[in-house]
Amino acid sequence: MIAQVAAVLLPVFCIAGLGYVWRLTGAPFDLPFVTRVIMYIAGPCLVFDSLSKLTLPLAEFGAMVGATIALTLGVAFISFLLLKALRLPLPSFLPALTLGNTGNLGLPLCLFAFGQEGLGLAVAIYVTNSVLQFTFVPLLQARVSVVRTLLTTPIIYGLLAGLAVLLTHVHVPEWIADTTSTLGGVLIPLMLMALGHTIGGLRAHNLPRAFGLGTARLAIAFVVALSVSKLLGLTGVARGVLVLQGAMPAAVFSYLFAARYERDADDIAGIVLVSTLLGAVLLPFLVSYALWLSH
């Protein structure tokens, strides 16, 4: 089991570590450009490639989407009650507690832990999380149009194109398949390097609050993910993937949105930093547990 867990975690830490070391050297790293490549090119291509080559039944993919929505609603509800009790502003703090890092960290973990089947299920969670992230967060923090946000979110077009191919059984020309596969393949290493680079620049503001809320993010998400998996009767790899993805630290995008919309960005950076560092310590146990659940 130790060798299996190490095989999952070491590639993740090594690639994220490259981004962190890059930050320490002071060498140029255009994070906005990398983020745009992830959002507008690599992300949609990975979703399209994964769906067009999906080997697991579509019903399982749909079940994971439903489970992700249930998970998100459950975490949001408990986080809402917690923030109300602490009298903290919901627009600033609710996204950080509700949405996990299912992309930068969750996708590679599920790929290395569960192979292509795990990646296919993890993509369902990632897509659902991304759609919620790019609609729910701007709506909450900036009151933007949901329709406009959906129309300008590229990952949705990758999702629709992939579903169209999957449902109609259309043969994708080899050059298109190779192109999207290659572009989608850069997503995970880019995400991990961007994660390491971003974490290297974050600073914990108001450390006691950051530690408390960062810990709360991990605990709430894990309990809700485990509960949802049991309530929905998920088994095998699906259960392991939901628990592993559900228990991820706060999403880095929570900080990016908070900075963009001027919503207590320093506090959110602290939550992301603490939950990520604490999550890294707990990952061996979480991965071991997720692998055990899948058997």
pLDDT, one tens digit per residue, over 98-118 is 999 898 788 888 988 898 889
Mean pLDDT of 129-133: 83
Q: pLDDT value at position 139? A: 78
Task: Using pLDDT thresholds of 50, 70 and 90, give the confidence band for residue 238.
Answer: very high
Instruction: Give the number of domains in the chain.
Output: 1
Task: Using pLDDT thresholds of 50, 70 and 90, give the confidence band for residue 201.
Answer: confident
Range of weakest confidence among 171-175, 257-261, 277-281 = 257-261
Q: Does the pLDDT at position 5 exceed 70?
A: no
Q: Does the pLDDT at position 81 exceed 70?
A: yes
- Model-level pTM greater than 0.95? no
Q: pLDDT value at position 224? A: 97
Task: Using pLDDT thresholds of 50, 70 and 90, give the confidence band for residue 154.
Answer: confident
CATH number, residue 209: 1.20.1530.20
Q: pLDDT of 14-34, one tens digit each?
A: 888 898 899 999 989 887 888
Q: pLDDT value at position 249? A: 92
Domain limits for position 217: 2-293
Max avg pLDDT among 44-58, 107-121, 133-147, 193-207: 107-121
Mean pLDDT of 244-256: 88
- Amino acid symbol at 192: L
Mean pLDDT of 79-86: 96
User: Taking a C-beta distance cutoff of 8 angstroms, is the pair 91, 141 a contact?
Assistant: yes
Please tell me the distance from the alpha carbon of residue 18 to that of residue 91, in angstroms, as a whole number.
Answer: 33
Give 106-137 as a 3 state SS string: HHHHHHHHHHHHHHHHHHHHHHHHHHHHHHHH
* pLDDT above 90 coverage of the chain, percent: 38
- Amino acid symbol at 50: S
